[in-house]
Amino acid sequence: MQDRELYRQLMGIQEPWKVTEVKVDFEGLKVDVWVEWSLEQQGVCPECGVTCRIYDHREERQWRHLDTMQFQTIVHCRIPRVNCAEHGTKSMEVGWAEKHSRFTALFERLSIDVLLGCQNQSKAKELLKLSWDEVHLIQEKAVQRGLERRVAGELKHLGVDEKSFLKGHQYATILSDLDHPRVLDVSRDRKEDSLGELLNKISQPQRDTIEAVALDMWEPFINAVEQYLPQADIVHDKFHIAKYLGEAVDKVRKKENRSLVKAQDDTLKGTKYLWLTNPNHWTEPQQALFNELKDKGLKIGRAWSIKEMFSGLWEYRYEKAARKFFKQWFWWATHARLKPMAEVAKKLKRHLDNILTYLKHRITNAVAEGLNSKIQHIKSAARGFRKFENFRIAILFFCGKLDMYPQKSQ
């Protein structure tokens, strides 16, 4: 009697539900709790709340509940089915779990907290003593709740990025809200339709409020934004532009280093990150190395100077002055007799209008890149994802800022 009353209170069981039996397995470290509906003839329709005649009982179901000390606790119940005049034969709702769940609401809440706290599915799995399938099921249901509850508020600035989730260049497209750092949704691949699918999920009133989208120079993404958000400015993210410039600089270094090595000169050996790192973040040895190399007339020095000069564009406030600056920079980049720098300069010129929109909106994909780092951690901790949908669910669970807790909490 004392055990039954204890678990009734621990689980928040209320009449006419009652705890009828509690069994403790000390060797198996397990507690089994049986719950029954105490009214023999009458139940409640889950659709309309009307009191109806009980038709029969379903086969016994089980729910994982919060552990009792170190003892895994399982709730058992044969759920009554009622015969409703309006809705037909329906299974009654139980107060301790959501419909179709294999876990009590309290256990799901704990699992969500542990997953968010660990930021690591593998560690959470071990702490909760769950299988991978059970972890995914809890996350999937949590994300489903969160997406259903998400309020369609105003969106002003979006970010678009991509992330590989399998070897062999299989990508996912990630759409982010830059003003409230969160992932809005994820789609398979990085095609025009991939982004179009995500933008199409946004309601038309929301789309009408979007002022700008930060993305790289990937044409399929540009086309999708122009189709679905014709009023929005495209802002080519300055971090992606820095990446393009850095790649060009590294091509110059590699070619020059090969020539020097043939002449048995190792001047550029081990200098890759010197030319790619922001000078403000140089270590003392890197600064000393730069001082040693800067007056040697190296091609990499010219390439590095061209890259660094471009960053001055972001300081301008007015488009006319910025265009004048770019014109001067472009002439230098294309007349420095460095093919990689000339090629990247021409690429930037083709997209100049969407680069200069930064002066108006001052947005970057830094938020999306930050989320991308978090996503990389999630992927590494889970040792990769074989299925795209599992990858999508994990991203939305950890990065979607969703209201994911189950409502029932008995």
* Whole-angstrom distance, CA of residue 99 vs CA of residue 85: 21
Query: Contact, 382 vs 71, CB < 8 A?
Result: no
What are the structure tokens assigned to 303, written together? 């390439």
- In this structure, the number of other CB atoms found within 10 A of the CB of residue 274 comes to 20
Tokens encoding 160:
């678009």
Q: Which residues pair with 161 in a beta bridge?
A: 174
Mean pLDDT, range 134-145, rounded to an integer: 95
Pairing of strands 71-77, 30-37: parallel
Query: Tell me, what's the pLDDT at 297?
Result: 92
| pLDDT tens digits, 252-274 | 999 999 999 999 999 999 999 99
Q: Which residues pair with 175 in a beta bridge?
A: 160, 185
Classified as helix, coil or strand, 193 is helix
Contact status, residue 65 vs residue 11, Cβ threshold 8 Å: yes
d(CA 236, CA 215): 5
Query: Can you give the pTM of this predicted structure?
Result: 0.87
Question: What are the sequence ranges of the domains in the chain?
Answer: 1-96, 238-361
Phi, psi dihedral angles at 37 (to 5 degrees) = -85, 125
Q: What is the radius of gyration, based on Cα positions, of the chain?
A: 30
pLDDT > 70: percent of the chain: 96
Q: What is the pLDDT of residues 169-214, one digit of tens each?
A: 688 999 999 999 999 999 999 999 999 999 999 999 999 999 999 9
**d(C-alpha 111, C-alpha 100), whole Å:** 17
**Residue 365's closest CA among 154, 198, 162?**
162
